[in-house]
Structure 1
Amino acid sequence: MSDSTVYLQPAYILQHRPYRETSLLLEVFTRDYGIVSMLAKGVRKQKSKSAGLLLPFTALKLSFSDRGELKTLVGSEFVRQYPLERLALYCGFYVNELVQLFLHRHDPHPALFAVYRAALRDLTLGVGIEQTLRYFELDLLREAGYEVELAVAADRAPISPRERYDYRADQGWVLDAGGRASGTTLLALAKRDRLQDGIAAEAKVILRQLLDGHLRGRPLKSREVLATMLKHL
């Protein structure tokens, strides 16, 4: 291995697809190198020890050649698996898609990497899935440079739990009797409170508006699949 090799980098596979007959192309979220594309040669061979490791929702330590845009995997070690099932599994794919859409390639986000790991843990436990997603979305917006003040209105007045607000991208939260966001929900999000049913539903609407403002019309495939699944639960 050359001096350009990165050793045992904490990582998660966000996406993988076959490449030629025996290899995989990987989109990988690493702690110190951000999102990188990686070629895993020969891992689809029957005798490959890495074949069952390079999957989403598995904590790994990867070694790879850091030359060029496409990295080459040279080693992988298993750390732990997050066995997501049913709704939690689709939520995991949603989280992975958000990471790929909002983060710039090769831009490290070690704080979000830790938040991502915690989100997988909470999704695996299956407790407070909606709350897990909302706070992950808020952390993602902050790390991507789109943090939104939740406790202060556009006029710099404190958000009031007795009022309703609407979000304007060029201003912030403005008073609006018919607005999507209640002050109660905004303050709960700001304080990272436990999201009860009514507040959780409104928080979902708020975060969707904030995310969609930056997606600029780009559809989320996982969101469409998740919505279809929820109709049949």
Structure 2
Amino acid sequence: MSPRRPAAASAAYVLHRYDWSETSLILDLFTREQGRLTVAAKGAKRPYSQLRPVLLPFQGMTVVLGRPAKEEPSEVLNLRSAEWAGGAPMLPAAALFAGFYLNELLMKLLARHDPHPVLFDAYAASLPALAAGDDTLTQAALRAFEIVLLREIGLLPELDTVTATLASVQPQRQYLLRADSGLSTAREGEASLSGGLLLQLQQTLDGGALSELQTACANERNALKATLRGLLHYHLGTPRLRTRDVMLGAQQFIGLADGPAEQVDPTTHPAS
């Protein structure tokens, strides 16, 4: 009988965590090699567990996973070990809603056990932008991540080609991007995106440089927000996201405590 190979380590982030028992957690992990996974972290809630300071959202880590015992659900893997991978510190409070928004998109749009290394790298590279505390950079990072996400899961049409006619996009013209019909020429007065922007987005997507994609998104972030929101809501099947509802509830709580407060759209600042 040949010796068992040691389990391979995998880069990962915690998307969500649930109480499993008084001492253990169920984790939703986003891993580079295996995609989104459900993992049991036994003993992680014990006061002196070495896992407690590691299993935090938005912290890159290296995990080793094992198969579950026969009596446990086959979809749930066992967390053998987890180590902090270094990198940026925790997101500041002002950026948490934006980070949890990204996590919610991944949990709702990614199938389990479906690897997306490009998307994983985009997620990791987006977190420092959220942590910077600059609203323009935050919005650009969110728009860029949404575009990469839609492309990676096959829901974004080619941005340099009109979907129905296969005609090339012209820089000086305006276009509509819809979930049900792809890219089409816009009529006068319709909310649209410029051909120049679409060509720039396609070029940066093909080139793979997330920083360039973020720069392109920063220039027309408001127009992109409305368009991408429509695509995401269509594919999510609902216009409501838990992150958005939580932030609205927090705003209402603050308003009750401090008097009337200006209502901020959490999909704009800062949650999407």
Asked if these proteins are the same fold (TM beyond 0.5), I'd say yes
What is residue 178 of structure 1 aligned with on the other side?
189
What SS is found at the alignment partner of 1:64?
A: strand
- How far 1:221 sits from its partner (Å)? 1.1
What is residue 129 of structure 1 aligned with on the other side?
138
What is residue 47 of structure 1 aligned with on the other side?
48
Equivalent residue letter for 1:149: E
What is residue 258 of structure 2 aligned with on the other side?
none
Percent of matched pairs sharing the same residue: 34
Give the alignment partner of residue 194 of structure 1, picking from 201, 215, 219.
215
Equivalent residue letter for 1:122: A
Question: What whole-Å deviation, never above 9, does each CA across 1:90-113 have from its counterpart, x for those lacking one?
Answer: 111001111111111011111111
Q: 2:133 and 2:178 mapped to 1: Cα distance?
A: 34
- How far 1:204 sits from its partner (Å)? 0.5
Give the alignment partner of residue 147 of structure 2, picking from 138, 141, 150.
138
Q: 1:114 and 1:138 mapped to 2: Cα distance?
A: 14
What is residue 108 of structure 2 aligned with on the other side?
101
Residues 181 and 224 of structure 1: is their aligned pair in 2 closer, same or farther, counting only changes over 3 Å?
A: farther
- How far 1:195 sits from its partner (Å)? 4.5
What is residue 90 of structure 2 aligned with on the other side?
83
1:82 touches 1:120 (CA, 8 Å); kept in 2?
no
Matched, 1:33 2:45: no
What is residue 160 of structure 2 aligned with on the other side?
151
Residues 66 and 59 of structure 1: is their aligned pair in 2 closer, same or farther, counting only changes over 3 Å?
A: same
- How far 1:198 sits from its partner (Å)? 6.6
Unaligned runs of 5+ in 1: none
Q: Which moved more, 1:130-139 or 1:168-177?
A: 168-177
Equivalent residue letter for 1:124: A
Unaligned runs of 5+ in 2: 69-73, 204-212, 252-262
Question: What whole-Å deviation, never above 9, does each CA across 1:70-95 have from its counterpart, x for those lacking one?
Answer: 11111111112542123321111001
What SS is found at the alignment partner of 1:105?
A: coil
Residues 123 and 49 of structure 1: is their aligned pair in 2 closer, same or farther, counting only changes over 3 Å?
A: same
Matched, 1:119 2:129: no
Q: 1:135 and 1:212 mapped to 2: Cα distance?
A: 17
Question: What whole-Å deviation, never above 9, does each CA across 1:141-197 have from its counterpart, x for those lacking one?
Answer: 111111222222233333334433333445322222232213154345334372577
Q: Which moved more, 1:201-210 or 1:62-71?
A: 62-71
2:27 touches 2:41 (CA, 8 Å); kept in 1?
yes
Q: Normalized against structure 1, the TM-score is what?
A: 0.87
What is residue 12 of structure 1 aligned with on the other side?
13
Provide the aligned C-alpha RMSD in A: 2.6
Q: Which moved more, 1:47-56 or 1:65-74?
A: 65-74
Equivalent residue letter for 1:24: L
In terms of fraction of residues, the more strand-rich structure is 1
Q: Which moved more, 1:3-12 or 1:113-122?
A: 3-12
What SS is found at the alignment partner of 2:244?
A: helix
How many positions carry a matched residue from both structures? 232
Equivalent residue letter for 1:72: N
Equivalent residue letter for 1:145: G
Give the alignment partner of residue 231 of structure 1, picking from 244, 254, 264.
264
What is residue 80 of structure 2 aligned with on the other side?
74
